[in-house]
A and B are shown apart, each in its own frame.
Chain A
Amino acid sequence: MKKRIISLWFPRLHSDRILRRQPMTGPFAVTAHAQNTDRLLCVNQEAQSAGLERGMSLSDAHALCPSLRSEPHHPQADQYFLSGLSRWARRYCPWVAQDGGDGLLMDITGSAHLFGGEEAMLNDLGHRLGHARLNARWGVADTRGAAWALAHYRPGIAAMGETERALNSLPVAALRIAPQEDVTLQRLGVKTIGQLTKLPRATLGQRFGASVLMRLDQALGTHGETISPEAEAPVYATRLTFPEPIGLSSDVMAALERLLPALCAKLRDHQMGARTMLLICRRVDGQDQQVELRLARPLRDAARIQPLFERGVGTIDAGFGIDQLRLVATQVEHLAVEQIAHHAPQSQDGLHDLITRLGNRIGLDNIQRFLPADSHIPERSFKIAAAAWSEPSGTWVSPAPRPIRIFPPEGIAATGNAPPKRFRWRRQSLATARATGPERIAPEWWLMDENWRSGMRDYWRIETQQGRRLWMFYTPQNPGWFVHGEFA
């Protein structure tokens, strides 16, 4: 049986994706950086009618069309979008592959009749894509090359066996040959595929090498060409069905002891670690009970995961009994295989397990840690991050000593730019024994920070006779004294 291929081309994929998300009218373009300038990669209909075209530099485009709006190209997002489209296209046939960055190939051999024939299938396809506000063009033919040519140069269907006739009048560029070869052929007067096929093969081979002939053969079907769809993503799940319902949590734990190693083995095979796991218990009455486990770091060690489930399993309401357990790793992360070293690096497993245990009680996001931040401003020289989703990193170096604790500035009654001899703070009467400073810190001018409205600060380390060591500052531009922190 002859193959039937659809080549689906999204000529404005990049801009369509963005415009679907944030609809706007007027000229719009997606830009990418090439040859040292930002150039247009994709333009919408309005921009095209304003005379903009692909490859033009952004500044030229603005000169031509001042109202142009643009956004930079986001290759990953486009790729993600296209793979979404390719999954969607499987509604028409099982064999779908991506073609370049902006097209799909669908092998509809034997599936078109399910939709009432090719015509009806394409109508459906076009209707749905139009609904999704996507510009698309397609060609259907016996070969991948011919379908591509039609999609790009004369959208439509070439009936079975009519490939050559459909291609005859198309320009040679439709053969997917290099632009250079295309121009050379055209300059020689060979403008259509029909003219090309009439030339003696030997002369072509000598002049253009094998590539032009290969492309020609691929389009006409004398040279095979495969379509390779993407592999399915693995599913990380295992299950266990019981002949008799169980009801004890120790039984569930025992079952888990069988499920976990199988799941962990699968994770190991794919070099993955689980971040979130879900244990689904199906009760005999058809109700589900779920236990979620969120881990502080990716893990695939059954022996370590097992005890972490204990608390959650304890909360299961078994009802009349559970007859099936299903364990799914709902969120996985890459976890490379580690070499077993003679001197194993200091393990932080204990800490991670602790975070997991605590996190499953009070919420993983509520466990936080401090990370150093790069700023002169004391309030911004650290940041707080969720412990489970961050690694302890950076070094805590500070050119000047910083207190162990800082709090929002607390004003005290004092005047003058020299540290006060005596002052009251938090209802205590304090006397300065020694003052060191000042360290002058000016606000980060590019931020409009409310706390720094009072201008630059002169920080002093004040040792009081009472023993407290305070970090105080004076704001010369807006005179006033404040206590900002306390040294240990």
Chain B
Amino acid sequence: MDVLHPAKPRVVRTWGICVIYSELCTTSNFTFLRGASHPEELVTRAADLGLSAIAITDHNSLAGVVRAYAALKELRRNMDEITIRSTKRVDPSSREELQGQDITLHGDHLPKLIIGARLILEDSDVDWVALPRDRKAYEALSRLLTLGKRRSEKGSCQLYYADVLEGAQGMILIALPHTLEQEASAHIRQMARRYPGHVYLGAAPRYDGSDQEYFNACQTLAHSTAAPMVAVGDILMHHGSRRQLADVLTCIREGCRIDNIGTLALPNSERRLKSPADMARLFRHHPAALRRTQEIADKCAFCLSELSYEYPDEITDGEDAQSRLERLSEAGLNWRYPNGVTDQVRALAIKELALVKRLGFAAYFLTVHDIVQFAKSQGILCQGRGSAANSILCYALGVTDVGPETITMVFERFMSEYRGEPPDIDVDFEHERREEVIQHIYEKYGRERAGLCATVVHFRTRAAIREVGKVMGLSQDVLSNLSGQIWGSYSRGEIGEERLRAVGLDPSDPRLMQTLRLIGELIGFPRHLSQHVGGFIITKGRLDHLCPIENAAMEDRTIIEWDKDDIDTLGILKVDILSLGMLTCIRKSFDLITQHEGETLSIGTIPQEDKDTYDMLCRADAIGVFQVESRAQMNFLPRMKPQTFYDLVIEVAIVRPGPIQGGMVHPYINRRQGKEAIEYPSGALQEVLGKTFGVPLFQEQAMQIAVVGAGFSPEEADHLRRSLATFRKMGTIGTFRDRFVRGMLERGYEEDFAVRCFSQIEGFGEYGFPESHAAAFAMLAYVSAWLKRHHPAVFACALLNSQPMGFYAPAQIVRDAREHGIEIRPICVNNSNWDNHLERRSDGRLALRLGFRQIKGMKQEDAEWISACRGNGYYDIPSLWLRAGLAPAALERLAEADAFGGMGLNRRDALWRIKSIRADKPLPLLSDPMDGEAIYEPGVDLPTMNLGEEVVEDYVSIRMSLRAHPVELLRPLLIGLTPHAELTHIPLGPVDVCGLVITRQRPGTASGVIFLTLEDETGVSNVVVWPKVYEQFRTAVIGGRLLRVRGYLQREGIVVHVIAQEVQDLSPKLAELGHPRDDAIGITDPKTDEAPRPATPKPRNAWHPRDQAKKLFPSRDFH
């Protein structure tokens, strides 16, 4: 008759006996919407409490175990560091700062991690905690879970008692009966007979006042079923303070509000991790149950590190992997260097091969090589990105196209001994044909050996606000205010009091503050598993021995339960099969050039260092060019004036959040233009920063500074980079910063420089480019620029055919092409195909014929029928209907696009005729009317369209117009405007411009400034809206499609800006074009629209406000 202890004793000793306890049943938050603690927190807390072992047992899942494993590894690594350096320490579980020096982790015995899962069965009231004893048992568990997951839909797992009875060899099974009824005891008895010595009965305290009676009943049941009783905690959270979050999660799961949660709520916070002493007190009458936890922990010898990865055999072809790699790379080098391999290259290759041999990654290179080889054999363009370009081997094997002549290859960045981690090769493929590569991998290795890895989808700020807010019953207004406050910034859940007041929320409202705290706790919780974009795992043996596999949302896809960090942690190799639109565009360009010019080109054979190409880029004539087509890049190009390939590499790397945040852009450009002296902080850093005029721009350089400047070991520097990406999880960023700045000060650098370097490293964590990656991208940028310069028609055509991709909408691409003197021909049923294509003009130049793919709502199949049945051409509409078998709806699409112009029918007449065709297929009797029986319709004269209507129709159908620009038509109505073309040479001063909004950006790095690009018939203008002006003209800036801006003209070189002072929304003027669908004009592409604005263009169908919403609120009907 004792009490639950109230305080939290940190001493493991009670009553003079040292108690040992292992927690065998914990539910982490990877049991989605149930567990209330991260696996990392559980492990850290277990270490804190001095548990001898902890098992992470999520419901039918192994998704969280790797996190726990990684956290434990981290703890082991950091142990000395943390205790030596400071006496103050942040309690990692509660994030509170703990005072005093008597807090030491029980460093000599960190808890042992036991891998396991809690099996929830469909047909039994008994849950089973399955803890594999060895690798074989682990494989069985993984297979068992795969079985359950594969037969149910995504995210769920159906297991039956019989499955467990069948496939639980070698696992410790702890029964957790919901009730101590007859059926439960029968199940336990049967299981105990099947796996003698492995089955236990778990007794979890329930804190409902009857625990001792319950334990006694369990004891009795244990006797009768021959399953010894063992103590478990049935843990839901690492710390009692998470009870509130646990209740909120319950509400989200059950879809109720917190006020209606009732008895679903936890009655108390006792399902937290407990110290051994507490457990000893609870189980004082059953010491054996406590002792058995340790017995079981000792029996479970399996550790995730045993999951040694084995490469598939196929790649070796019976040859030894290393020798095959050597042979292939030799051949590759000879192919790359037909004039003989230089000594330097040879030396690099030998060094890399030696390292690969030592680490045993040869097979991995071969796997990637095979995939790339397959793609090449199919004519699919591909290119390695990321750090892979740091390797001469990848260059020799044709995975990357950037040679050691252009960049310094830092092989250590790619692969190194101390990291002991596999390299990471990401390969981009054409976005339209990536699926072929994926299917090839499935085919070659089989589905049971190849799988995609998962991405853990976390609660982000918005989702957390929405869900918690709903549960806590906050009103919609408050919620959208909260969301509005964190718009754009990825705040870490901390919203200041004054900001709350600013939006009219009351910081003294306890419910609101509770909600905010809970939102902060929920952010970062995993929500569900989703499919990774392209990370493939290929194994030698069965993949489901490695990790449970579940069905993905996409048909024919399966994903494993772990995400790419988990894979990294365990040292399992993966190949990223990514897709890149620009590759598609380049391949299509090459095809078109072959077809029309008879030349065969490839990325490798494009003439390098072409002066014309660089000149074009210096003029910022870069629409469509990979990576340098964005607004910021186009502004930067004329200042940067790239002359060589390496300039492009810098161009790609510099306009990124990392360097911008670190304030590196201006120093660099000033030094480059000679406005500022090039100086180096020290001789040592000159070596590191020599190439970039003493300004760190690349990830490698930032790491090198940490090593050379701040005295980090290479290992630490890398650790720093990694922890930046994930610092939220462990919260150790501050210590790194102190250490970095101190290290630099000690070595005689200025504090200002040190702080700047560090903030740049922070930025790099998520948004930086390594030099190699920048080089790989710069290569594509150069190729696309070259194509644009020398084959503009081909490039525009390929770009249009590869949409959606890139930064600009088809309208801008077409406009750009026309400005380059290319004739654009309209869509025509007698000439167009699905794709845009080129037609040879009589003067020998190429003209671009728009294809049916530009028409909104047109199906590819219909378009192909049109081309296939065309013969000598269609002479009227019924011939299209009859021969190509087009449904009236498709014909309407064509009429709306004015595709019948070639047969002398205007839009309205065509539409009028098509409207009379109501059947999908011709009826046999009516299609051949007898003489005199045909019905002749009275002729109808429809009003002819004016130019305004035509233009709107063009926009409605193909989102652009070849006839006229809307602003051109409205210009007579607007007085005092400056056409955009004149902005480059009129005197500076106040101007008025007007145009359609084509892009709207609010970069996170520009402190709330909004950049608008307006387009009129003469060109574009760049408008800068400062936050103050934005607040004043918010509605117009966000919602306007046609804007008139009054402001000041500014010019720097050839970069022209209008600094807005007054913004006027002229969108209603578009209605004066006289068409019901004028709203189709000026809708910006979501991907170019980073600024706040109404999320989706509204599908309005009628101009009257009352009618406009009918589709949304269909309840209204007429009588």
With A39-B1112, A188-B911 in contact, is A59–B942 under 8 Å at CB? no
Q: Are B1102 and A179 in contact (CB under 8 A)?
A: yes
Contacts of B1098 in A (CB 8 A): 55-56
Query: In the complex, what residue of chain A is closest to B511 when comparing beta carbons?
Result: A446
Bits for A164-208, please: 1 = Cβ < 8 Å to B, else 0: 000000010100100110111011111000010001101100111
Q: Are B267 and A441 in contact (CB under 8 A)?
A: yes
Q: Are B942 and A435 in contact (CB under 8 A)?
A: no
The B249-275 residues at the A interface (CB cut-off 8 A) are 258-260, 262-263, 265-270
With A64-B1094, A446-B472 in contact, is A203–B1109 under 8 Å at CB? no
Does B1038 have its Cβ within 8 Å of any Cβ on chain A?
Answer: yes
Query: In the complex, what residue of chain B is closest to A70 when comparing beta carbons?
Result: B477
Q: Are B267 and A445 in contact (CB under 8 A)?
A: no
Bits for A96-119, please: 1 = Cβ < 8 Å to B, else 0: 010111100000000000000000
Query: In the complex, what residue of chain A is closest to B956 when comparing beta carbons?
Result: A187
Q: Which of B144-152, B541-549, B912-920 contacts A (4 or more CB under 8 A)?
A: B912-920
Contacts of A101 in B (CB 8 A): 1115-1116
Q: Are A183 and B1112 in contact (CB under 8 A)?
A: no
Contacts of A401 in B (CB 8 A): 209
Q: Which of B270, B944, B1065, B1094 has the most CB of A within 10 A?
A: B1094
Chain A interfacial residues counted at CB < 8 A: 87
Does B6 have its Cβ within 8 Å of any Cβ on chain A?
Answer: yes
Does A399 have its Cβ within 8 Å of any Cβ on chain B?
Answer: yes
Contacts of A254 in B (CB 8 A): none
Does B351 have its Cβ within 8 Å of any Cβ on chain A?
Answer: no
Q: Are B268 and A441 in contact (CB under 8 A)?
A: yes
Which residue from B267, B1034, B1102 sits with its C-beta under 8 Å from A173? B1102
With A59-B480, A206-B916, A459-B209 in contact, is A65–B1035 under 8 Å at CB? yes
CB proximity of B519 to chain A, nearest CB, Å: 14
Q: Are A64 and B1038 in contact (CB under 8 A)?
A: yes
Q: Which of A46-54, A125-133, A308-316 contacts B (4 or more CB under 8 A)?
A: A46-54
With A183-B1102, A190-B942 in contact, is A31–B1108 under 8 Å at CB? no
Contacts of A102 in B (CB 8 A): 1116
Contacts of A69 in B (CB 8 A): 477
Which residue from B208, B266, B937, B1119 sits with its C-beta under 8 Å from A99? B1119
With A54-B1105, A64-B1038, A448-B510 in contact, is A418–B3 under 8 Å at CB? yes
Does A8 have its Cβ within 8 Å of any Cβ on chain B?
Answer: no
Q: Are A439 and B1106 in contact (CB under 8 A)?
A: no
Contacts of B1034 in A (CB 8 A): 64
The A433-488 residues at the B interface (CB cut-off 8 A) are 435-442, 444-446, 448, 456, 458-461, 474, 476-477
Contacts of A476 in B (CB 8 A): 3, 6
Contacts of B896 in A (CB 8 A): 187
With A183-B1102, A206-B916, A442-B243 in contact, is A436–B210 under 8 Å at CB? yes
With A65-B1035, A173-B1102 in contact, is A58–B476 under 8 Å at CB? yes
The B473-493 residues at the A interface (CB cut-off 8 A) are 476-477, 480-481, 483-484, 487
CB proximity of A419 to chain B, nearest CB, Å: 7
Which residue from A38, A206, A439 sits with its C-beta under 8 Å from B918? A206
Chain B interfacial residues counted at CB < 8 A: 83
Does B840 have its Cβ within 8 Å of any Cβ on chain A?
Answer: no
Query: In the complex, what residue of chain A is closest to B248 when comparing beta carbons?
Result: A446
Contacts of B1076 in A (CB 8 A): 182-183, 186-187
Query: In the complex, what residue of chain A is closest to B260 when comparing beta carbons?
Result: A374
Q: Are B1101 and A179 in contact (CB under 8 A)?
A: yes
Query: In the complex, what residue of chain A is closest to B3 when comparing beta carbons?
Result: A417
CB proximity of B1112 to chain A, nearest CB, Å: 5
Contacts of A270 in B (CB 8 A): none
Q: Are A440 and B268 in contact (CB under 8 A)?
A: yes
Contacts of A458 in B (CB 8 A): 3-4
Q: Are A63 and B1107 in contact (CB under 8 A)?
A: no
Q: Are B2 and A418 in contact (CB under 8 A)?
A: yes
Does B940 have its Cβ within 8 Å of any Cβ on chain A?
Answer: yes
With A183-B1102, A442-B269 in contact, is A72–B908 under 8 Å at CB? no
Does A400 have its Cβ within 8 Å of any Cβ on chain B?
Answer: yes
Contacts of A206 in B (CB 8 A): 915-916, 918, 937
In angstroms, Cα B377 to Cα A35, docked, is 46
Does B742 have its Cβ within 8 Å of any Cβ on chain A?
Answer: no
Contacts of B1065 in A (CB 8 A): 51
Query: In the complex, what residue of chain A is closest to B1115 when comparing beta carbons?
Result: A101
In angstroms, Cα B480 to Cα A70, docked, is 11
Query: In the complex, what residue of chain B is closest to A66 when comparing beta carbons?
Result: B484
Which residue from A39, A183, A207, A438 sits with its C-beta under 8 Å from B915? A207
9 A-B pairs with the lowest CB-CB distances in the bound complex, closest first? A374-B262, A439-B209, A476-B6, A55-B1109, A207-B915, A189-B943, A60-B1094, A417-B3, A442-B268
Chosen A-B contacts, 28 in total, with CB atoms closer than 8 Å, are A38-B476, A39-B1109, A51-B1065, A54-B1106, A56-B1094, A56-B1098, A58-B476, A63-B484, A64-B1035, A64-B1094, A148-B1118, A186-B1076, A188-B942, A189-B943, A199-B940, A202-B937, A203-B937, A206-B915, A207-B915, A375-B262, A375-B263, A419-B1, A438-B207, A446-B244, A448-B510, A456-B268, A476-B3, A476-B6
Give A residues with C-beta under 8 Å from B. 11, 31-32, 34-35, 38-39, 41, 50-51, 53-60, 62-66, 68-70, 72, 75, 97, 99-102, 148, 152-153, 171, 173, 176, 179-180, 182-184, 186-190, 195, 199-200, 202-203, 206-208, 373-376, 399-401, 417-419, 435-442, 444-446, 448, 456, 458-461, 474, 476-477
Give B residues with C-beta under 8 Å from A. 1-6, 207-210, 243-244, 247, 258-260, 262-263, 265-270, 472, 476-477, 480-481, 483-484, 487, 503, 510-511, 514, 896, 907-908, 911-912, 915-916, 918, 937-938, 940, 942-945, 953, 1034-1035, 1038-1039, 1065, 1075-1077, 1092-1095, 1098, 1100-1102, 1104-1113, 1115-1119
| Given A182-B1102, A189-B942, 5 further pairs, Cβ under 8 A | A54-B1108, A62-B484, A66-B481, A97-B1119, A446-B247
